[in-house]
Structure 1
């Protein structure tokens, strides 16, 4: 189980809220959340309610100021990432709706262009494990969390049309 504590003010000040599961709207508990401590586990935090907007991967540690992480606003929702000890498997597709070139991944990929000569990844099917996908090669730029399921169009996930990813990383035991 994971546990995270959110604080209303920067540097762990003000009222706090302990959380050990998904929370779609942190403002139900605190008027705002500018800092947090991850006591155990891993979490994705979002700058919009209902797991929307920019996402940030947090592992055990202290985060005294969400603005220093690049957030445009305070934490609005969070999702706990369950530990996965099994295999990892994901199919990535060049175009939306599982069209175009398809490749199957079972490990991290720091650049789909170099590895597969694939210029875009615009849909995917996660069969096993939990993954972080990044908009730029070498795990840079905005990231998005993917758990098992089918993702026919990344643009329908709140990032606008033409959203694509260029690198992927598994969330393994070493992340915890």
Structure 2
């Protein structure tokens, strides 16, 4: 498969450090890590993504807040949490996002849960869904037709992040419980394609 070829060519590579600014214990990964504690780390506080993208999680086993980690340097937690306003000072699990395809990405937003009601197809990045015609601050359900996307709680790519992928859940996120374990609401006001 294409994904396997990408893995073999080292398409996914991340280096993590226990302390900020690339200090302390370090380790390189090319595959997912469900629990950094089992690798003898207490936490991850800085990251370099050589080949990605990846998603990092607040807790082991891909639980809690999720953060997209695209190619680049993340010297401290502010670099991955951005202007989210939610402090997650370390990450404890992470995995590659294997279906990102910036040039072929499509997602369908639905007015109701379970992929029901009026729908809105998008293929581009939207810093404000309301500004482009979505009449609500909420997106009750989402279907990823292709690629990988990051939805954000607030306009301007702020607030909680939710990673939506074509190759997980068959691309179907039928209610906010599917968005992630930290999702307490279906509020999504901006969305963009994952860079790779």
**TM-score, normalising length from structure 1?**
0.86
* Conserved? CA contact 2:68–2:80, under 8 Å: no
SS at match of 1:11: helix
Deviation at 1:138, TM superposition (A): 2.5
Tell me the distance in 1 between the aligned counterparts of 2:69 and 2:131. 28
Q: Which residue pairs with 2:185 in the alignment? A: 162
Match among 149, 169, 173 for residue 151 of structure 1 = 173
Deviation at 1:68, TM superposition (A): 6.0
Match among 105, 113, 129 for residue 96 of structure 1 = 113
List aligned pairs for 1:1-176, cutoff 5 A: 1-29=11-39, 30-66=41-77, 69-70=80-81, 71-82=87-98, 83-84=100-101, 87-119=104-136, 120-148=138-166, 149-156=171-178, 157-171=180-194, 175-176=195-196
Deviation at 1:124, TM superposition (A): 0.5
SS at match of 1:97: coil
SS at match of 1:7: strand
**TM-score, normalising length from structure 2?**
0.78
1:101-154: per-residue Cα shift (whole Å, max 9, x none)? 211112222222222242021210101111111111222222111101100012
1:77-102: per-residue Cα shift (whole Å, max 9, x none)? 11212342652221111222123321
* Conserved? CA contact 1:133–1:145, under 8 Å: yes
- Give the alignment's Cα RMSD to 1 decimal: 2.1
1:57-84: per-residue Cα shift (whole Å, max 9, x none)? 2223222222564443411111212342
Tell me the distance in 2 between the aligned counterparts of 1:161 and 1:47. 16
Tell me the distance in 1 between the aligned counterparts of 2:58 and 2:66. 7
Q: How many residues of Structure 1 are paired with residues of Structure 2 in the alignment?
A: 173
SS at match of 1:14: strand
Segments of 5+ residues of structure 1 without an aligned counterpart are none
Segments of 5+ residues of structure 2 without an aligned counterpart are 1-10, 82-86
